[in-house]
Structure 1
Amino acid sequence: LPDIADYGPGESGGYWTLELLESAVRTMVDSIDVALQADPDGPRFADYDHVMIFHAGSDLQNDIFQDSPNDLPSFNIFFGEPPLVDGGTHPLGSVLLLPETTTQDTDPADPIYGALNAVTAHEFGHQLDLVDTYNTLWGWPSVGYWDLMDSGHQILYGFQTLDDPDPIYVYGALPTSFGIWHRMLLGWVSEDDGSLERPGGGAHDIELTACNVQAPGGVKALRVDFSEREYFLFENRQELLWPGGRYVKSDEATGVFQFVSKDFPAYPDSAENIGEYDLFIPQSGLLAWHVDERDFETLYPLNVINPADDRHVILVEADGAGDLGDPYSFDWRGNDRDPFYTGNVTEWLPEGVPNTRLRDGTASGFSMTDLVTSPYLDSDGFVDSTVTFDIALAGQPTGFPRDDRAVVDSTLAQRPATGSLLPLADGDALWLGYVMDSLDPDTLLQSHLIVSGSDAASGPPLAPRAPARLGNTLSGAALLDAPAVAARDWILLTPDSLLVWNIPSPGAPPTPAGGAELPAGPATLPLAIAVGDSAAVFWLGEDGFLYVLDYSLKRGTPAPGAKRAMLATASRGARQDLPVMAPLCRVETADGARLGIALGDTLNLVDPFGNAPVAQYPLPDPGDGPFWIRPVDLDADGVESPEELFWVHVDGRVATPDPAGGAPTLRFAAPLGGATLSAEPAVADLDGDGRPELLLAAGDRVHRLSFEGFAYPNWPLRLGELADLDTPMRVGSGLRAADLTGDGVAELIVFGDSGHLIVADADARPVLGTPRSLAAAPPQDLIARDGRVYAVSRDGFLLAFAGSGGAGVPAEWGAGGGGTDRGGRWQRQHALQPGGGDIAEGWLLYPNPAADWVRLHHPSLAAGTHVRLELFDLEGQHKFTREATVPVDGPFEIPLQLRSLASGVYFCRIEVEGEAGSRHLLRRLGVLR
């Protein structure tokens, strides 16, 4: 090879560059390939899964005196453009570069040696796609000796040879094993073989065997999930696996340590590897790990998961000293007080040091108590020390959160459909999953009916667990539960068809019950109405027709075992011109149930079974903004008269129709000071006085108003003040209300855009240990039922939170039509519910990739308002500025040309100057070329 100094920083100092390192390795690969090709019977690169290149001398990492800057560092290189080897027939994807020795710069009078085992084992972990758990930005430890990918390869050992009684000190001759997080990533512990237990919420008795015991069987790891991204991991790490003497087997030619064997073998070749890689860890015991996988999509490929001020894989120190990673502590790589064990710390509680709070400082509800370590000898004479302890996760039912991602055999992302969660008995649930089955645009998003079965003893799980593939994207669902007509039919709409599934009983699997093709896709979610032995499902089509799935021809209950069949296909009613929003709702009038259809500035009350003419009432002009209809029985007479049908606009206006058909009455014009609603409103009675209240969400606040327009004391609820988060929490879901405490009155239920669940009482005080981080982002769907909150996260987890009141609580209020009967245009449901952050102030960024521009949009600005937008990259470099003045009252847009922008994330600073003063907002813009 050429002189390696030709590639180094040279005598003038400086640093290696990635370009120089890549050039040096490519030269090595080419030279080796030439040599191998000269031997027709020699080895070939293609014969091996991994390739290591060893070079002469030491490496840069062990240049303690910093006097040999041209030493090559030990590292992995993953080629962006793989070199072709084996005569140009095989692309070489990666190479591990290692030195001949790691010993240099040691004191000859008192030498300390470096073992090649250390760097080889650690760097080979990267070949297995593992990341470093130390602080790669500063080179400081984060979890220390407890993981091979941190400092587990840097433990100093003292050895005696048979010829010399003086000890020899060596770094890394016997690297420790991987921590449990890396073992889980490698599949060495998993739920499939029972070595990983994942019990979910509730109280459990746990027993863990030593994770490095070679014999199969036993639970070796415990995982406790709080959301789809944040969880605790537990492992039982033991130093000694053999009670007698031990022998270190080494290679005769090189002296390299190979493994630890029990006793002293009669012959060196008869030595037996007993897997005692943790022989020199500081202490045996239970290790508790705190993992938060938020931002891993970015951090993992960059190998920066544990920067000093933002660690994502944390070893919880049992003594709470905080030594790990502290450069001022002698024990910054770990000590014997880090594990939990009898004689040290035996409990981990919600408060104190350490505590079980989550990374954002909010309560997890988790506690661990009554830990006991019990060493014993197994049948083969090995030490198998078990650790037993009790855990409890308050507020979270047993078996939740439930990971349904693996239900669908797909290597790509799985997402829930909108408005599709249907809780069943005994913790079971159905939801619709969007699964990216391929990268083909025609089949990109496929929908599956996913049955999330409970493991609780109170009832059998729904079967089959494998989902049904439904073929196309779905709009959500309605449940028709009318025993006299169609018991538990679940009606699903796709852009071109109607699908019906039947759930005959809570413990039975859903079965297909018919369907029909549609001439046009749906413009609203379906709404089911059943009265006596008549029932129908309604929705508005994008072609302007009202569609009806009529069950009224079917009288009585079908005979047991009779074949289910649809008796009528969807039929079209009178054509209507649809505005932006056309909500459907059920209204209880003095003449019976009516279908409420808001079309533009008119509310139509339709007899669902055609027995009465349509009643029409004028509404305010909605413009281009969305609105909701909320029937509210204010006088509790069982009838929702026209003046009790509340029209709630996204701009905060609240109005009711005139019973005589005149102009509508504006109840209050701007109760939130002009703020834009960021979620669908809710109606509830939070104080139990029998008078419903209106709950409105805007930005980071939830307002509680009487229907006369008065704000209640202590409100609004300010989500941004409930948790000390990096970004203040805003409303991230629709509003719900139900009695979760068992006191007979309802509480407000809402998710923040950070994934935190908040349950608040009538005085705007969080209760039940909330905020609780149940998800990494606001959920796709949210329902309150039987004293529980159910939600489906965007990553395919079924979440649940149990209140203290138990099932059968008296107060439960629906929203958006109640239960699964959501209101609103289904295409926009995703944006209106969880994505409240951008809509909260009225501003929205939306793209047109084909035209290469983005538009900054506001639904309603006053004429004369001046808007200034500045775009910056993540380094703060200014890209461009756009300014404009609103010409007339109404919607306003600024087009932004993107041709000059490369792929990346940018920040938009928006300054709005009007009569009310100046406001500054920030929005993020992502560009992908």
Structure 2
Amino acid sequence: MVALIGAICTADAADAATTWRILVLRVDFPLEEPDEPTTTGIGRFDLRSFDEALPDYYYPFDTPPHDRTFFENHLRALARYYRTVSEGEVEIEFELFPRGQEEAYSLSQRMLIYGNGRSEEEIGRKWTELFGDAVRLADADPEGPRFADFNSFLVLHAGVGHETGELNDIRSVFLAERDFEAYAEQPVLADDGQFEIREGWILPESPSLRGQAGLNGLLAKFFGHQLGLPGLSNFADGLPAVGGWSLMDVGTNSLGFVMQDSLLPVVGFAVPHPIAWSKARLGWIEPLVVQRDTVVTLLATDRGGELPKAVRIPLDADEYLLLENRQQRGQRGFPEGGEHPFLDPDQVVWIDGEEVEFSNGDGTGSWLGLAEYDAFIPGSGLLVWHVDEGVIQERFAAGAINNDPVHPGIALIEADGRRDIGQPVFERLDEIEGSPQDPFFVGGQTRLGGDTQPDTRTYRGWESGVEIEVLSEPGDEMRVEIRFPRSARGWPQRLEGGRRLQAVDVDGDGTDELIAEGREGVRIARMGAGFEEWMIAGVRFLAAGDVDGEEMIFALRGLEVGAWGWGEAEPRWAMKLDEEPTGTLFSGNLQIFRERPVLVLVGEETTVLDGRDGSLLSRLAVSGSQPLAVDVDGDGEGELVVAGERGLWQLEEGEIKTLWEGEGQLLSPAAGDVDWDGRDEIICADVGGRVWLIGEGERGFEVSLGDSLRAGPVIGDLDGIGDLDGKAYLEIVIAGRERVHALQANGLQISGFPVRLPDFADLEELGRSPVLLDLDWDGKQEVFQATSRGMFGFDGDGRMLAGFPLPTAGGMVALIGADLDGDDRVELAGLGGDWLYVWEPQSFTPEYAGQRIGWGQEGYSAAGVRTHQGMGEALEPYLEVNILPDDRVYCYPNPVVGEEEVHLRFFLGGPARVRLEVFDAVGGRVEEQEIQGELAAPAENEISWSVAGYASGLYICRLEARGENGRRETAFVKMAVSR
């Protein structure tokens, strides 16, 4: 239910029908004899004549008699208002019952009984009781309505609402279907029990019995709930949230003045337009979505024309900026001959009485309509709303989308940076309900960006990269420049249903293009030109690779696989398959096919086609999920390995060789010469978080990450360290559920990993493999992870990179690092929210000028080999002076609690034997270990042991490393044990 005192829930979105037929039931109560002091009025409508009542009214507005004509006038005013603000999208018809001029249905219970609820449940029960009693009286009336002819049901009761009246006056409310289900003792039935009423609203005859406040505002606001609009106030604190700019906050009651014989203050008579968010939600306007640099002219929301009336700038999957042009149509300052004893001139906004159509025609009675409904909004200029649809969705049912002032669903970015709308302490109304300094305009604040105050960061504090500059003074048309300096010029580009992204030099010009698969098929995009007109319609991308010096694209249409050359309308060849493949590989270096270019497709069986003509080379009874081209034996030629759900099989001529049998559901593996022994190792991982390194003839390691996985591993060089001969050891990176893991060749997590993505980021599970690039030219590759809110970037120590994350308009489903413009620098590209993004990292910081790519895209390359091939060159030899640098030795956890195992992590600068001794506080040796076997160097290593039997206290760990030349180095670490 929605009430002025607070909001428990709101109406569901309105049906597509634009015509509303409102049934209005007038009800009164038993005459109060004597008058009940805790309610307003005496239980009956005020039916005095105008002349009789006028002396009791401060202002001659909404004056009695409050009879049928009075309410018909207000409903005509309501219809006129919504016809105007919706530009004809909403039409309102109505009928009032009973039909007599001064008649009302008389309820049997006193007003006090319906209005004296205190708890939420009691208030709700009394609301539904009053509504049901009114319906039953009307249904019993022989001359009453046929309820099925209407789709909105309004009960107007005698008296004033609780919001402006006494303690036990009835609260105004919109009751949604869920409210009747929660609070009504029985369904509200009409038409002889054949029609059930599931929504309704309850309002008083007037907000005031002295003419200070008008019924127009209440009717407009609560009919907004009928249409599906939520209240936009901070109901938890009883404060505004978007202020006088909004129909659904305090705009319906904004203070204004009408000039007649004198300056008369009015509240609730001049109702403002709904804000752009409300109009867009109801389908009255379609905001222009802006994602790349442009200049837009925005038309004022209350003017007709072809120009856009709102601009939407996505920040991430939930958040966006919404721009609208609002113009205060009233005049500011004292009119000639007008003054106010308590207000400064700049606080007075007024209209001439001639601008209002009055029911009595002489400047008195009900307000039937205005020339300008935005007469009393707080100011003029460009409004920038910060909207979080995630918050709105979460809190919509409770009617609380703006109850959190720190993170509301809709907030105005106030140009003056004060953010004083809704503050509990104020001296003037324009400090709490909005002020002329809130909009952006030439002559006031004009810029909004990452370096301004306020700024364009997301609620999570992330730099959005959006810059806005207003180029116009306030007016019906305002020009605004919108810039995205971090995006490449002309990007992002729209791609409906984007799901796959690869990079390869398709046309042979020496620069990679983007291959993007969307709902319509496969398209090619160039960094400087956007999408090419040529596309392969209705296909799924499989792989791309060099066939006799020409790059070919292999794609699947239905169950037919084909090969397309650049710009070709039809495939060079096509081959019908028996099933849709689950994994694909293109390679020209597979030993068993004598270096033919082949396309390998795996599913229930493994099929190998000649890439030149599509002829069948082999069909093997090996089922799998992903093929790999792996140099298992170090002879320089690739072996064909198929990864299945529970193992690895190598395909040789006339033989299927089992390389390894797994135990869980495996994800797509990766391969590469991780330990620089001249042979590729294969890294497998299962959904349960176990990881295996498998070399020829034996398993290298098996570790458990303690995390569930949704995507396979990738391989790169995170530490940039070569050994004494300059050989580069590689690291293994895997995205877990909420963390990114990085392992050395010995299975140990790299220091700083796993990296847990921030809880406040509110991310879905990580479902994509990372990309590894040396973006900052420091010789170490960084980790880039696609998430449901955009791209995160970490360095090799697990620290967030400057300029990251990069938010996107929807969840990122693909990510690439490649040189897309031939400048020998890496660009970033990604698919997210039906958009293809391209970023130039140097726009974040000049340091991002790197070009070294470790694992730059899904499958390592567009060919899908999933084997790391980019580290053939040696690195600078590791020349660390110390074999055992003491600043890289530590133990964890520290202190060790209970019977926990303790781990001593240390870095070895070269090959060495290691000895560990642990001493207690009095020098007694309690532990001694000499590490047998080869330790990784230069790399981190770890020793683990149990502290069971250790007493609480302080211990000294002595670690000694003896190098191959006999040199010894020692490091000491303190360790605490707590029982």
TM-score by length of 2: 0.62
Matched, 1:623 2:663: yes
For 1:19, the aligned partner's letter is: R
Counting only pairs closer than 5 Å after superposition, residues 301-450 of structure 1 correspond to structure 2 as 301-308=397-404, 309-330=406-427, 331-369=431-469, 371-374=470-473, 384-395=476-487, 398-400=490-492, 402=494, 404=496, 420-422=500-502, 430-431=516-517, 448-449=519-520
Q: 1:815 to 1:368 in 2, by over 3 A?
A: closer
Which of 289, 295, 305 lines up with 1:198 in the alignment? 289
**Match for 1:198: what amino acid?**
V
Distance 2:550 2:561 in 1: 11
**Could you say which residue in structure 2 is the equivalent of 1:655?**
693
Gap change, CA 1:283 and 1:737, over 3 Å in 2: same
Q: Is 1:182 aligned with 2:227?
A: no
Shift of 1:76: 4.2
Letter in 1 for 2:639: R
Aligned to 1:498: 559
Deviations 1:576-615 (A, max 9, x none): 6x7xxx64212256364432124588643325xxxx4547
Match of 1:478 among 538, 542, 565: 542
Q: Which residue of 1 aligns with 2:620?
A: 573
Q: Which residue of 1 aligns with 2:173?
A: 74
**Distance apart, 1:823 and its partner CA:** 9.3
CA contact (8 A) 2:155 2:202 kept: yes
2:716 maps to what in 1?
684
1:750 match: secondary structure? strand
Larger radius of gyration: 2
Shift of the 183–514 alpha-carbon distance from structure 1 to 2, 3 Å rule, reads farther
Check if 1:103 corresponds to 2:208.
yes
What is the Cα deviation at residue 114 of structure 1? 1.3
Shift of 1:455: 12
- The answer to whether residue 129 in structure 2 is matched with residue 23 in structure 1 is yes
Question: Does the C-alpha gap of structure 1 residues 501 and 366 become closer, same or farther in structure 2, counting only changes over 3 Å?
Answer: farther
Q: Distance in 2 between matches of 1:503 and 1:55?
A: 74
Contact 1:199 / 1:398 at 8 angstroms: preserved in 2?
Answer: no
Worse-superposed segment, 339-348 or 677-686: 677-686
How far did 1:200 drift? Answer: 0.5
2:159 aligned counterpart, secondary structure: coil
Amino acid at match of 2:206: T
Q: Deviations over 1:609-648 (max 9, x none)?
A: xxx45474643x5322536643214698xxx954544456
- Pair 1:715–1:13, CA change in 2 (3 A): closer
Q: Which residue does 1:551 correspond to in 2?
A: 610
SS at match of 1:301: coil
SS across alignment from 1:17: helix
Closer/same/farther in 2, CA of residues 292 and 500 from structure 1, 3 Å limit: farther
Q: 1:61 aligns with which of 157, 160, 163?
A: 163
Tell me the distance in 2 between the aligned counterparts of 1:207 and 1:55: 47
* Unaligned 5+ runs, structure 1: 105-110, 191-195, 262-275, 376-382, 406-415, 433-447, 471-475, 556-565, 825-863, 866-913, 918-929
Question: Structure 1 pair 132/396, CA: closer, same or farther in 2 (3 Å)?
Answer: farther
Is the CA contact (8 Å cut-off) linking 1:740 and 1:804 kept in structure 2?
A: no
Query: What's the counterpart of residue 389 of structure 2?
Result: 293
Aligned match of 1:445? none
Residues 343 and 257 of structure 1, relative CA distance in 2, 3 Å threshold: same
* Deviation string, structure 1 residues 303-349 (Cα, Å, up to 9, x no partner): 22111243121111112212111111242221222112233322223
Matched, 1:223 2:312: yes
Which AA in structure 1 matches 2:240?
Answer: P
Q: Which 10-residue stretch deviates more, 350-359 or 148-157?
A: 350-359
Q: Residues 640-719 of structure 1 correspond to what in structure 2 (within 5 A)?
A: 642=679, 644-647=681-684, 651=689, 653-658=691-696, 662=697, 664-666=698-700, 668-670=701-703, 679-686=711-718, 691=728, 693-697=730-734, 701-707=739-745, 715-716=752-753, 718-719=755-756
CA distance in 1 between partners of 2:236 and 2:513 (Å): 45
Q: May I ask how many residue pairs the two structures share in their alignment? A: 706
Query: What is the distance in 2 between the residues matched to 1:182 and 1:789?
Result: 36
Structure 1 position 17, deviation (Å): 3.0
Between the aligned partners of 1:512 and 1:299, the Cα distance in structure 2 is 55
Question: 1:209 touches 1:387 (CA, 8 Å); kept in 2?
Answer: no
- Aligned partner of 1:770 in structure 2 is 804
373 and 696 in structure 1: CA distance in 2 versus 1, 3 angstrom threshold: same
- In structure 2, relative to structure 1, the CA distance for the partners of 1:504 and 1:431 (3 Å cut) is same
Q: How far does residue 789 in structure 1 lie from its aligned partner after superposition?
A: 4.0
- Aligned to 1:518, which of 569, 572, 578? 578
Letter in 1 for 2:731: L
Is contact 1:719–1:731 with CA below 8 Å preserved after alignment? no
Amino acid in the other structure paired with 1:771: P
Task: Determine whether 1:804 maps to 2:842.
Answer: yes
Structure 1 residue 4, shift from structure 2 partner: 5.1
Q: Aligned-pair distance for 1:143?
A: 0.8
Indicate the percent of aligned positions where both proteins have the same amino acid: 23
* 1:167 paired residue among 263, 276, 280: 263
Q: Distance in 2 between matches of 1:633 and 1:504?
A: 33
Residue 152 of structure 1 aligns to a residue whose secondary structure is helix
Distance in 2 between residues matched to 1:511 and 1:68, nearest whole Å: 79
For 1:526 and 1:33, the matched residues in 2 are separated by 70
**Aligned-partner Cα distance in 2 for 1:294–1:304:** 13
Aligned to 1:235: 324
Q: Is the 8 Å Cα contact of residues 544 and 862 (structure 2) preserved in structure 1?
A: no
Aligned partner of 1:597 among 642, 652, 676: 642
Contact in 2 for aligned 1:681/1:694 (Cα 8 Å): no
Q: Is the 8 A contact 1:452 1:798 kept in 2?
A: no
Contact 1:651 1:674 in 2 (8 A): yes
Structure 1 residue 84: Cα displacement = 5.9
Distance 1:187 1:693 in 2: 54
| Alpha-carbon distance between aligned partners in 2 of 1:453 and 1:147, rounded to the nearest angstrom | 45
Aligned residue for 1:413?
none
What is the distance in 2 between the residues matched to 1:320 and 1:732? 39
Q: CA deviation at 1:653?
A: 4.7
- 1:178 is displaced (CA, Å) by 1.3
Quote the Cα distance in structure 2 between the aligned partners of 1:504 and 1:153: 64
SS in 2 for 1:294: helix
For the pair 1:817 / 2:908, whether they are aligned, the reply is no
Per-residue CA distance 1:695-726 (angstroms, 9 max, x = gap): 334565545454356766x6326344xx5727
CA contact 1:131–1:300 (8 Å) conserved in 2:
yes
Asked if 1 retains the 8 angstrom alpha-carbon contact of 2:790 and 2:806, the reply is yes
Matching of residue 527 in structure 1 with residue 597 in structure 2 = no
Distance 1:351 1:459, change over 3 A: closer
Q: Report SS of the residue matched to 2:224.
A: helix
- Contact 1:397/1:802, CA 8 A, preserved across alignment: no
Q: Which residue of 2 aligns with 1:281?
A: 377
Partner of 1:269: none
CA shift digits 1:508-563 (9 cap, x unpaired): 889898664636x75x4233334699444434434xxx2315235x54xxxxxxxx
- Answer whether contact 2:233 2:240 (CA < 8 A) is retained: yes
Q: Distance in 1 between matches of 2:502 and 2:110?
A: 67
Asked if 2 retains the 8 angstrom alpha-carbon contact of 1:759 and 1:766, the reply is yes
